[in-house]
Structure 1
Amino acid sequence: MNAEQKTTLWIVLAVTVAMQAGNGTIFGLIAEIQDAHGISTGQLGLISSALFAASLVSALGLAHFADKGHARRMMIIGLSIGTASTAWFGFATELWQFVAARALCGLGVGLFLAAGRSSVARLSALRAGQNLGLMVAAETTGFVFGPTIAVLLYKLGSLATPFFVLAGVQGLALVFLVTRKADVESKVRPAPLPLWKLSGLDLLSSPKVLGAALLGLALYLPVGVYEALWSRYLTDLGASTTFVGASLTLYGVPLALMAGFGGRLVDRHGAIPMARRTLAILVPIVAIYGVAGSYWAVALVAMVESVVQAVANPSAQKAMVQACPPERIGNGQGLSSAFGLAGAGLLSSIAPAVYSSLGAGWLFAIVATICAALGVGAFSLYRKGDPLAAAPLVI
């Protein structure tokens, strides 16, 4: 990549860290919010599913604008919405307010990530996997250090303090993005599409695109459980609020450090071969969460998972890039996100009830089984037919 492309990449990565730090703030404090405002464990699913539902709307309804020269505008609007939603959490006192703030966050995150991922994938055809891996690292760094910082700020101030401070960080990132020149737009414009094709759902007629979307779902599905129950589960195992925040750091550091390397492995050995290997490791890891027995064991399992995800995430994203026509990469990334968000959102809405009635062992065993079945279907579909566009990626 040339100097301008490298500058663009690092601008996108830096702003992504700030965006995801605000998004992840609630993750380490959900048990405290639940106790402070009288929210039941079952109602936690409403807060979590609001994020996924709104992100799904963004992914299907708005991701196509990233292919039409609006990627930078999408990132600015998405970050603005994310900043507002994080601040709203600081003021919220009732369940509907938390649900609405999380939905607003989902809308902003969906806009921002659809534009960001498609932009870094286009920067270099030969380094698409590595760049997507770095994007995964940036997303993870923000998402896991945000809760860690939030827990410390909560200890120093009040429950509202972390949300106001991290909303301020997002606001500074917004100023940085607006004032910096980043060439994130596609150089290839798609032909005008009829309204029914704007969501990208028409691409699912390709077995490869459908397979890539199912692969993204298989890898992202467990996030629905983590979003709704990570804090609650560790707290039930005896973990302190400080440890809950630290556990997210233990998960995030290996993933953040290794995602770039994982992306290079994907570029070298192929997206599907690496996805097949990593999913075979990920499935038993998810099942082990339910029988780990102690919060320390859960944290250690999470560290192992993070290493696997450092390769799995860029492999799924690059598989979608390769399956889509080059002028519709944004649509493809939106589809992949939509499948993952829809599945994780549905799971997050029912996981607390399953956890309460059947326990962690059954919950994680069921999720692992679903991930395995989705993976088998994804790889079978990806082998069928040709990509929708046989032409190489045009930058």
Structure 2
Amino acid sequence: MKKRSVLLLLCASGLGSMSYGTMFTIIDDLRDKYGITESHLGLILGVGFFAGFFSNVFLAPYADRGHAKRMILLGILVQLVGCCSFGFGRSFATLFVARAVMGVGNGMIYPAVRRIVILADPENMGSNLGRALSFDVGGFTLGPVLSAVTVSALGIPAPFLMISAAMAVIGIGVTRIHVTETDIDDAPSQRLAFDLFRIRAFAGTIVIGLALFIMIGTFDALWSLMMKDMHAAEWVANLGISLFAMPMLFLGPIGGRFTQNTGPFRASIGGLSVGAFIITMYGTLPSPYAMLAFGVLHGIVDGLTVTGGSAAIAMVVPRERIAS
């Protein structure tokens, strides 16, 4: 596959992460301007993870059945609708539904992209997955920067509309690339991924993924609110999430090779253990600047180990079920 085609696919995944990063930096604005309670904000953030899980279970398997490109294009369209709706949302119900739609779209795109990237060059699976991580984290990192530059001057909808426009452009580009799809005769007969849980190692990869996203979700959901309540400077709140993600942006390919050589399970368990300690420190440190330093350390650890879950899945499931 040509590098330009791979770049378009990775950008499609990265833009979803950009909308995700943008959303987390305006949590305090949603609370203060629209009067949405913190418990409702938690539901808005959390529904995206559940929607993504739903999409991974019920929709992602279609990428293994000869529809990887279609899943990416449809996922872009779904995310575009969700992103625009979130930008213009003013109530809990609207934002809740919009976030769920965004989660469904992301759950359609990433597994299909992962399948294409892994099968295009299996010998360099680790570094390629790391490169995909870099694009996801790069988008996540640019999200807060985009919101910091545009929200105060143009309003909350501005960054989401800009991301939506970029999604439309990338979607047009994806329509023109060639993807080698699974031959329908070789496609797996299973419609859902539940049968994969019979593979004990696969169940272990799911536990790794859950633990990772629980920690990341906790950090993302609480960071902006904690900085606001601790009366930290605004730049600390905006820069904190970016600095947390920045090491992963540059360490993605290196971390991918590290997890492939060390062993994805061993690398993931080590990274999660260190991450659990750092999460504990977030809850006990009295200074936002000390928390910022631990956030950078957390990003470095994740950058070296976060690809372990995807690498482990690619190693333990049949090649024809990678997207599932």
TM bracket (short chain): over 0.9
1:185 aligns with 2:178: no
> What residue in structure 1 maps to residue 134 of structure 2?
137
The answer to whether the 8 A contact 1:136-1:259 is kept is yes
Distance of aligned partners of 1:261 and 1:187 in 2 relative to their CA distance in 1, 3 Å threshold? farther
Deviation at 1:187, TM superposition (A): 6.7
Listed as ranges, the matches of 1:56-71 within 5 Å are 56-71=53-68
After superposition, what is the alpha-carbon deviation per residue over 1:350-391, rounded to whole angstroms, capped at 9, x for unaligned?
xxxxxxxxxxxxxxxxxxxxxxxxxxxxxxxxxxxxxxxxxx
1:155 aligns with 2:155: no
Deviation at 1:242, TM superposition (A): 3.7
The answer to whether the 8 A contact 2:44-2:99 is kept is yes
Distance of aligned partners of 1:137 and 1:182 in 2 relative to their CA distance in 1, 3 Å threshold? farther
Q: Amino acid of the residue matched to residue 82 of structure 1? A: Q
The answer to whether the 8 A contact 1:17-1:139 is kept is yes
> What residue in structure 2 maps to residue 92 of structure 1?
89
> What residue in structure 2 maps to residue 256 of structure 1?
249
Q: How far apart, in 2, do the equivalents of 1:327 and 1:45 lie?
A: 37
Deviation at 1:16, TM superposition (A): 2.3
SS at match of 1:46: helix
Gapped regions of structure 2 (runs ≥ 5): none
Q: Amino acid of the residue matched to residue 144 of structure 1? A: T
* Number of corresponding residues: 324
Q: Amino acid of the residue matched to residue 26 of structure 2? A: L
Gapped regions of structure 1 (runs ≥ 5): 332-395
Q: How far apart, in 1, do the equivalents of 2:4 and 2:88 lie?
A: 37
The answer to whether the 8 A contact 1:24-1:142 is kept is yes
Deviation at 1:190, TM superposition (A): 4.5
Distance of aligned partners of 1:130 and 1:66 in 2 relative to their CA distance in 1, 3 Å threshold? same
**2:288 maps to which of 292, 295, 301:** 295
1:20 aligns with 2:36: no
After superposition, what is the alpha-carbon deviation per residue over 1:79-108, rounded to whole angstroms, capped at 9, x for unaligned?
111111111122211110010110111111
After superposition, what is the alpha-carbon deviation per residue over 1:112-150, rounded to whole angstroms, capped at 9, x for unaligned?
111112221222221111111111111111112112211
Q: How far apart, in 1, do the equivalents of 2:287 and 2:181 lie?
A: 47
Deviation at 1:246, TM superposition (A): 1.4
**1:244 maps to which of 237, 241, 249:** 237
The answer to whether the 8 A contact 1:151-1:162 is kept is no
> What residue in structure 2 maps to residue 79 of structure 1?
76
Q: How far apart, in 2, do the equivalents of 1:136 and 1:124 lie?
A: 16
TM-score for the superposition, normalised by structure 1? 0.77
> What residue in structure 1 maps to residue 125 of structure 2?
128
Deviating more after overlay: 250-259 vs 216-225 = 216-225
SS at match of 2:286: coil
The answer to whether the 8 A contact 1:29-1:151 is kept is no
Listed as ranges, the matches of 1:226-245 within 5 Å are 226-245=219-238
TM-score for the superposition, normalised by structure 2? 0.93
**1:32 maps to which of 29, 43, 46:** 29
Deviation at 1:227, TM superposition (A): 3.7
The answer to whether the 8 A contact 1:48-1:102 is kept is yes
Distance of aligned partners of 1:125 and 1:188 in 2 relative to their CA distance in 1, 3 Å threshold? farther
Deviation at 1:288, TM superposition (A): 1.2
Q: Amino acid of the residue matched to residue 111 of structure 1? A: M
RMSD of aligned Cα (Å): 1.9
Q: Amino acid of the residue matched to residue 288 of structure 1? A: M
The answer to whether the 8 A contact 1:114-1:330 is kept is yes
Listed as ranges, the matches of 1:1-395 within 5 Å are 4-179=1-176, 181-183=177-179, 185-186=181-182, 190-193=186-189, 197-331=190-324
> What residue in structure 2 maps to residue 379 of structure 1?
none
SS at match of 2:323: helix
Distance of aligned partners of 1:304 and 1:132 in 2 relative to their CA distance in 1, 3 Å threshold? same
The answer to whether the 8 A contact 1:149-1:162 is kept is yes
The answer to whether the 8 A contact 1:209-1:324 is kept is yes
SS at match of 2:122: coil
After superposition, what is the alpha-carbon deviation per residue over 1:282-312, rounded to whole angstroms, capped at 9, x for unaligned?
2211211111222222221111111111122
Distance of aligned partners of 1:188 and 1:129 in 2 relative to their CA distance in 1, 3 Å threshold? farther
Deviation at 1:186, TM superposition (A): 4.4
Deviation at 1:6, TM superposition (A): 3.7
Q: Percent identity?
A: 26
